[in-house]
Amino acid sequence: MKPFDYVRPATIEEAVQAGSMEGSAFLAGGTNLLDLMKGGVVEPQRIVDVTHLPDLSAIDATSDGGVRIGALVRNADLANDADFAGRFPAVAEALLSGASGQLRNAATVGGNLLQRTRCRYFYDVASACNKREPGSGCDAREGENDGLAVLGWSDRCIATHPSDFCVPLVAFDAVVEIAGPSRRREIALEEFHRLPGETPEKESVLEPGELIVAVRLHAESIAFCANQRYLKVRERTSYAFAVVSAAAGLIVEDGRITQARLALGSVAPKPWRARAGENLLAGQKPERAAFERAAEAALAEAKPSGDNAYKIDLARRLIVRAFERAAAGTPNPLPALPASPFAHSPEAAHV
């Protein structure tokens, strides 16, 4: 590993100042960053340890009845917070389906938003990768690309975003709070990650020195809590990243859908909000035929980036199943195999 300087700031302001220096990287749980450093994929000159910053480790109610989650809250702690899981069960289900128990105990909310792609060519420093080395090319385009993007990709990059957590967050309109050298700002998570276009090395809207301090979910999204699910297809039931995932939510009144939410994971370089599919469901009965039409609309612009045409059909089927599970009611308790489309769901509806 390349030698680096280590800085441990005492305040957010000190952290932002240290992070603004060229070659700096913030360290929280380290579950992704340290792997990348050991493999020589990233070589920061300076590590800014933010793990002991004050006021970033709480789960707090907001004045509008929503929730504010500090960036240093551990994934396991958030998923197992009974009040949070009761109001945002799909988010809890997504968290519990990610990685292993040991990693969830270490990984943080802020770090999860910033985790890097798991594209094998990004991790292989002998391969050409525009994300790792701008202008070098993309070996994934002609390589083993069966798991890569079918939405939002460009000729310069076909990698996918790996997060489970971000998918329901995008579906339910999460907001990211950011501290920077000159100001604090907020941005919808849907707009936080960037599509590759001509600059795949720019993965988010963060500027040098900017630090995620919290994620917020508004009270309006709690209305979906009785009918929401997160489903994830993976190559094995545990400890694997998604091939395709989907977060679905419904509000049903008098036998008709009044609002729907849908987001997809592992199909694009960012968590993908499928608004075209949502819009088709307004006023419809919560039935399979309506969900199939929504799935078609959600993937109307999808196209293979290589040997991955199967992902489009797989995503259609998963969308339908996620909406059917959501329409049946959020289970209480959550399934023993969180997010598995093959798990038997308890009959009791979520309260």
Which neighbouring-strand residues pair with 186? 177
pLDDT score, position 348: 42
Alpha carbon separation from 153 to 76, 125, 149, 157, 306 (Å, rounded): 32, 21, 6, 6, 11
Residue 161 lies in a domain: no
Q: What is the pLDDT of residue 347?
A: 46
Q: What is the pTM of this model?
A: 0.96
**CATH label of the domain that carries residue 32:** 3.30.43.10
Q: How many CA atoms lie within 13 A of 315 on its CB side?
A: 37
Asked if residue 338 is part of any domain, the answer here is no
Burial letters 299-337, b for 16+ CB under 10 A, else e: beebebbbebeebbebbbebbbbbbbbbbebbbeebbee
Provide the residue-wise pLDDT of the chain in tens; the chain has 351 residues. Answer: 889 999 999 999 999 999 999 999 999 999 999 999 999 999 999 999 999 999 999 999 999 999 999 999 999 999 999 999 999 999 999 999 999 999 999 999 999 999 999 999 999 999 999 999 999 999 999 999 999 999 999 999 999 999 999 999 999 999 999 999 999 999 999 999 999 999 999 999 999 999 999 999 999 999 999 999 999 999 988 889 999 999 999 999 999 999 999 999 999 999 999 999 999 999 999 999 999 999 999 999 999 999 999 999 999 999 999 999 999 999 988 888 899 998 876 544 443
The reply to whether 113 falls in a domain is no
- 199 part of a folded domain: no
Residue 213 lies in a domain: no
Q: Which domain holds residue 311?
A: 222-328
Residue 197: inside a domain: no
pLDDT value of residue 342:
86
pLDDT in the model for residue 43: 97
Q: Which two tokens stand for residue 193?
A: 């990650």
Helix, strand, coil shares of the chain, percent, nearest 5, are 30, 20, 50
Q: Residue 303 belongs to what H/E stretch?
A: none
DSSP secondary structure letters along 259-289: EEEEEEESSSSS-EE-HHHHHHHTT--S-HH
Residue 289 domain-assigned? Answer: yes
Q: Are 319 and 277 in contact (CB under 8 A)?
A: yes
Name the DSSP letter for residue 312. Answer: H
Domain holding 262: CATH number?
A: 3.30.390.50
In a domain, 320, yes or no: yes
DSSP bridge pairs for 6: 47
- For the chain, what is the domain count? 2
Place of tokens 């020589």: 40
